[in-house]
Structure 1
């Protein structure tokens, strides 16, 4: 089996690519998606758990960026879709949490854990 190099982009590059009509596919689960999500014109929500049954909704001829909260699940989604012949895929590394930290557009309320002065310990509010 040939090794496929997965292309990854950062949130800043993703923001630029969205302006060039790239489609975002958010693979987070239903409850995560409804808490907060990307506030961009073209985003499709297909949870990773439903990816196999819904991959026919992903246009093969479009340039697509897969996203999740941290970039781990979306990376798995890219690997999975590559096996089914999808080629125009990018993974957004560091995910929606980094996107929100940078102040990029989101809908809903994002609770982002940041490394604070005390190292983000649970006793900090």
Structure 2
């Protein structure tokens, strides 16, 4: 599984519009998430895969990097291109909404 640090994702956001999926729970996301990230809680990943496009690459985000890693494995096993953001939102120093 590919991984990027929070700093690498912040750099990507300066020049690009990456597809970011936040797999945290509703109450965690309410405290703030990366702008333009799509919220799909980890428990809903399998049932909501049809909302994703296998031709695109997705950066998975959670609180610390564990749940996003699990979500990335699930999607990768289904043929999706995914990257896990290591450190999660605990290490995020960029903008939140």
What is the alpha-carbon distance in structure 2 between the residues aligned to residue 22 and residue 63 of structure 1? 8
2:61 to 63, 67, 70: 67
- Runs of 4+ with >6 A deviation: none
Q: Which runs of 5+ in 1 are unaligned?
A: 1-5, 108-125
**Rg: which structure is higher?**
1
State the match for 1:106 in structure 2: 96
Larger helix percent: 2
Q: Deviations over 1:19-52 (max 9, x none)?
A: 32211000001111112211x2x31100001111
1:7 correspondence with 2:2: yes
Root-mean-square deviation (CA, aligned residues, Å) is 1.1
What is the alpha-carbon distance in structure 2 between the residues aligned to residue 65 and residue 84 of structure 1? 15
State the match for 1:22 in structure 2: 18
Range with bigger deviation, 17-26 or 75-84: 17-26
* Structure possessing the higher relative contact order (Cα contacts under 8 Å, 6 or more residues apart): 2
What is the alpha-carbon distance in structure 1 between the residues aligned to residue 17 and residue 54 of structure 2? 14
| Residues paired across the two proteins, number | 96
